Amino acid sequence: MIIQHIAAFTDGSRGGNPAGVVLCEALPEAATMQAMAADIGYSETAFAAPAGESWRVRYFAPQAEVDFCGHATIALGAALARHQASGTFALTLNHADITVDGLHSPTEWSAAFRSPPTLTRALTSADLDEVLDLFGLSQDDLDPRIPPVIAHAGMDHPIIALRDRGRLAAIRYDFARGEALAQRERYCTFALLHAETPQLFHARNPFPFGGVYEDPATGAAAAALAGHLRELGWPTAEPIVIRQGEDMGVPCGLRIDLDGPAGAPVRVSGSVREIPV
């Protein structure tokens, strides 16, 4: 068993969201993986074992298993590139089959995954009001260009786009309330966003579902957002950069591509660095 500590979606040599990566010959029992993830202490740990031509992967937050985690997938792809060689790796998740490209060279260490298929569904007015109330927001705070929805790319994320960057920076919430809501509705994270330009977004992702107040970089939510923007016909053909973690003092950078038809997987990429332990 090889345990690695890798920060994904780094900002140069700093920042990035820490993830555990555990490479093993066969996956341990779920209770063992859950205990290991809690001990490692990051928002998610990816456990991976060879399964024919692919890798069987499961993701655990400190308090719960999640079906897909973007930043841990980036960390896993980078770890496999270092462990084996740069290339494309097939991953079998709980409910999807995806791929991740890993690159490891003397000058670059990075990865890019193709997400599970994307879809959106309506966020009812009652559910929206409950989410807004949790974060002390009102309808007037919302950006009308990006309507609130539940967006999915492996897990569900309410998408809440705000008009004002300062309003996003000021977000606070009651963790116990957020945890109860996320567990009840199975919201993986709450994707709170501000579009500075069509190509540049700022994001915050509270993650009470997994027992984490806020995630500094969230690849699954980025893929879900991309699926929503693609359905909206968002006015750019260029890749979108998401700046996340800055309000936590942990700068992160994620890149998403909007190519492909509605519902297709989304490519999300970023660089990584090793975390000294």
Quick: pLDDT tens for 123-152: 999 999 999 999 999 999 999 999 999 999
CATH dotted code for 119-267: 3.10.310.10
pLDDT digit string (tens) for 55-107? 999 999 998 899 999 999 999 999 999 999 999 999 999 999 999 999 999 99
For domain 2-115, the question of CATH label 3.10.310.10 is answered with yes
CATH 3.10.310.10 domain residues, the chain:
2-115, 119-267
pLDDT at 12 (0 to 100):
87
Is pLDDT above 90 for 13? Answer: no
Short-list 224, 259, 254, CA closest to 117: 224
What is the chain's Cα-based Rg?
Answer: 17
pLDDT at 238 (0 to 100):
87
pLDDT at 34 (0 to 100):
97
From residue 150, alpha-carbon distances to 34, 93, 218, 232 in Å are 27, 21, 16, 14
Type of residue numbered 28: P
- Token pair, residue 21, equals 């990566």
Is pLDDT above 90 for 20? Answer: yes
Across the range 20-46, mean pLDDT stands at 96
